[in-house]
Chains A and B, each alone.
Chain A
Amino acid sequence: MSAFGAALKRELLVLWRSPAEMINPLFFFVMVISLFPLAISPKPEVLAVIAPGVLWVAALLAVMLSLDGLFRRDQESGVLELLLTAPVMAVVPVTAKLLAHWLLTGLPLVLVSPVLAHMLQLPNAVLGTVMLSLLLGTPALTIIGAIGAALTVGLNRGGILLAVLVLPLYIPVLIFGAGVIRAAAEGGAVNGILAILGALLALTASLGPLAVSAGLKISSGN
């Protein structure tokens, strides 16, 4: 557990000292969302219909784009090799890295989401569901995306390839994440759908780090 703690502390420190990596996904999220009222229609009744999907697609893209450089710096500086050859199982530092990354890039999205949901004319009663759906969904997105990032770490044209690999894998989370907000806006029951989102998170959080470390081992040729 001390290895996990040390790794978590290191990752948080590294991310904290390069604030652009935390702030850019957040601004991307806000900017993409503000494009939709301008492009489609600023009418409240139109916005309220598209809001769940817009919020979720924007969050999904923000998380995915933030992951492109997840392992690159570690690979360039040689830290990755050390992590994979260290006497701890690779899953431990990988999990710490994912947690740190989510805390500093995913969690801010969750925190600003009620403001954006309000700007998209969603009723106030739904804002809690918006936050809860993103709270359960964004960690799953981070973990699934990290599998793609691990497989493409050694390649210099990561960006678009990462999207091609990862977007199909995001679809279940997207469906239930946007679905629960829609259900809440229509006044339907949300607990069941939130439970499915939680189940997806449990599945990705338990198996995902294993797949990520396997991917890193493949990419580094071990």
Chain B
Amino acid sequence: MVWQTIKRWYHMLGSPRYFYTFSSLVLPWLTPIALVTLLTGLVWGLGFAPSDYQQGNSYRIIFIHVPASSGALMGYMALGVAGLVAVVWRMKMAEVMLKAIAPFGAALAAISLVTGALWGKPTWGTYWQWDARMTSMLILLFMYVGVIALQNVIRDPRQAARAAGLLAMVGVINVIIVKYSVEWVQTLHQGSTLKLFGESTINPAMKYPLLISMLGLWLLYAVNVLMRARTEVMWRERRSKWVAKLVTRPEKGER
């Protein structure tokens, strides 16, 4: 039953027109929810969570740093999945998604690097260190840049998306190998304090605002992807009747 539903969703959302209508219904809800969640997490974390007994208040950048890092990593994984679907099944919406996911992910990787550097100065006494996680994030940023550059250079949008998709698939394998290979060199970074399974090593008073800002940022990422995908769908389908109709006489409920 579950499988059938997933399959139906896959086929329905695979249609650009259905996706457009569906996202018009979702976005008016998802956008405020994402913003409120992110703001709650940030205000709670930056303003009200207790300060750290070792790092004082400087640790508070965690409420931006960790959500941005996790978002960048998940974004690239999503890019790889979209790439697989686009290359193997040539699904149009996966191609659109490839284009929609990359820019926000690259921005998050950059934010993660900058906040990490700012956090590193007071705690480790240096802005930059070639430690495992920082190096992986830098390489992740490079790989986002590669995917975006390849998409921009190839003229035909479908071909561009499939080329970028193949690169993203290779990139996902590379991310995993890079993570282990740079760990082998040396590591300075603290281990993960949040664990999905087992005991987290973070105080609950800090954990909840962190989880909330993470959730908020992921939702915001989803909003951004949906909005970019809508513009891309409109552009790709600009010669179709439904887009022409939409542009000349907006229906009720459509944005």
Name A residues whose Cβ lies closer than 8 Å to a Cβ of B: 144, 147-148, 151-152, 154-155, 157, 161, 164-165, 167-169, 171-172, 175-176, 179, 200, 203, 211, 214-215, 218-219, 221
Which of A161, A168, A211 meets B150, CB within 8 Å? A161
**Docked-complex contact B163 and A215, CB < 8 angstroms:** yes
Which of B142, B166, B184, B185 meets A168, CB within 8 Å? B142
Name B residues whose Cβ lies closer than 8 Å to a Cβ of A: 87, 139, 142-143, 145-146, 149-150, 153-154, 156, 159, 162-163, 166-167, 169-171, 173-174, 177-178, 181-182, 184-185
Contact of A214 with B139 at beta-carbon distance under 8 Å, contacts A169-B174, A175-B182 already known: no
Looking at the assembled complex, report how far the CB atom of A67 sits from the nearest CB atom of chain B, in whole angstroms: 15
Task: Report the nearest A residue to B174, measured CB to CB.
Answer: A169
**Could you tell me the distance between the alpha carbons of A144 and B173 in the complex, rounded to whole angstroms?**
12
Task: Report the nearest A residue to B135, measured CB to CB.
Answer: A171
**Docked-complex contact B153 and A171, CB < 8 angstroms:** no
Chain B residues, CB < 8 A from A148:
167
Task: Report the nearest B residue to A221, measured CB to CB.
Answer: B159
Contact of A175 with B184 at beta-carbon distance under 8 Å, contacts A161-B150, A218-B87 already known: yes
**Docked-complex contact B146 and A168, CB < 8 angstroms:** yes
**Docked-complex contact A175 and B185, CB < 8 angstroms:** yes
Task: Report the nearest B residue to A193, measured CB to CB.
Answer: B184
**Docked-complex contact A172 and B174, CB < 8 angstroms:** yes
**Docked-complex contact B167 and A165, CB < 8 angstroms:** yes
Chain A residues, CB < 8 A from B173:
203
14 contacts between A and B (CB under 8 A): A147-B166, A154-B154, A164-B146, A165-B149, A165-B150, A168-B142, A171-B174, A175-B182, A211-B169, A211-B170, A214-B87, A218-B159, A218-B163, A218-B166
Task: Report the nearest A residue to B182, measured CB to CB.
Answer: A175
Contact of A161 with B139 at beta-carbon distance under 8 Å, contacts A168-B174, A172-B174, A175-B185 already known: no
**Docked-complex contact B181 and A161, CB < 8 angstroms:** no
**Docked-complex contact B139 and A168, CB < 8 angstroms:** yes
**Could you tell me the distance between the alpha carbons of A87 and B159 in the complex, rounded to whole angstroms?**
24
**Docked-complex contact B174 and A161, CB < 8 angstroms:** no
Chain A residues, CB < 8 A from B170:
144, 147, 169, 211
Chain A residues, CB < 8 A from B139:
168, 171
**Docked-complex contact B178 and A172, CB < 8 angstroms:** yes
Chain A residues, CB < 8 A from B169:
211
**Could you tell me the distance between the alpha carbons of A88 and B142 in the complex, rounded to whole angstroms?**
36
**Docked-complex contact A200 and B145, CB < 8 angstroms:** no
Which of A161, A164, A169, A215 meets B171, CB within 8 Å? A169
**Docked-complex contact A221 and B156, CB < 8 angstroms:** yes
**Could you tell me the distance between the alpha carbons of A155 and B154 in the complex, rounded to whole angstroms?**
7
**Could you tell me the distance between the alpha carbons of A221 and B142 in the complex, rounded to whole angstroms?**
26
Chain A residues, CB < 8 A from B156:
221
Looking at the assembled complex, report how far the CB atom of B16 sits from the nearest CB atom of chain A, in whole angstroms: 21
Task: Report the nearest B residue to A208, measured CB to CB.
Answer: B170
Instruction: Rank and list the top 7 A-B pairs by shortest CB-CB distance, nearest first.
Output: A168-B142, A172-B181, A172-B177, A165-B146, A218-B162, A175-B181, A151-B163
**Could you tell me the distance between the alpha carbons of A144 and B124 in the complex, rounded to whole angstroms?**
36
Looking at the assembled complex, report how far the CB atom of A219 sits from the nearest CB atom of chain B, in whole angstroms: 7
**Docked-complex contact B166 and A214, CB < 8 angstroms:** yes
